[in-house]
Amino acid sequence: MRKIDETAIKRVASGVIDCTLPKSEWTHAGHFAAALWLCRHRRDLTEADEIRMLISRYNEATNTANTDTGGYHHTVTLASMRGAGDFLASYPEDVPLSDVHYALMASRYGDPDWLLKYWSREVLFSVSARRGWVDPDLSSLPF
């Protein structure tokens, strides 16, 4: 994986906030870039209701419907935000986000299926997990 710089990380997060990020850039790495930036610079947007509104609004702006089968997924979002926040907290505040993001993507979080170590596919992709928080059914989260 290539390392992205500070400017790119801020651009991804800002693009989600102002709904201008091209949908093609809302990748697994893009999600974590935004999560890290929000955790460091906009903690107010990381609360459960705030992040739900932020991502739902972004999805709508990119013609992604927020339904029972697509769009915003609350459990995935909160687990990922918590994982990103926990990972970020293990670094001093002066470490560039580009370094943290690169390390995060080289960790277990870099695997797009990382959540399936904690949730069964059936539970994670249920309507209940998409709409609200559902606790893991396979193993406790490491944070």
pLDDT in tens, 73-126: 999 999 999 999 999 999 999 999 999 999 999 999 999 999 999 999 999 999
Instruction: Give the separation between CA 88 and CA 94, rounded to whole angstroms.
Output: 11
**DSSP 8-state code for residue 4:** P
Tell me the per-residue pLDDT of 101-111, one tens digit each, with 9 for 90 and over: 999 999 999 99
How many angstroms separate the Cα of 126 from the Cα of each of 75, 120, 121?
10, 10, 8
How many angstroms separate the Cα of 91 from the Cα of each of 32, 83, 97, 100, 101?
16, 13, 10, 8, 11
Q: Where are the alpha helices (DSSP H) in 63-110?
A: 74-89, 97-106
Question: What is the value of pTM for the model shown?
Answer: 0.96
Mean pLDDT over each residue of the chain, to the nearest integer = 97
Please report the DSSP string for 18-64 in residue order: TT-S-GGG-SHHHHHHHHHHHHHH-GGG-SHHHHHHHHHHHHHHTT-
The pLDDT of 52-75, averaged and rounded, is 98
Please provide the distance, in angstroms rounded to a whole number, between the alpha carbons at the two ends of the chain: 25
Tell me the per-residue pLDDT of 23-47, one tens digit each, with 9 for 90 and over: 999 999 999 999 999 999 999 999 9
Is residue 2 over pLDDT 90?
Answer: no
Structural domain spans, the chain: 6-114
Residue 118 phi/psi, 5° resolution?
-115, -30
Which single residue is written with the structure tokens 């013609």?
A: 63
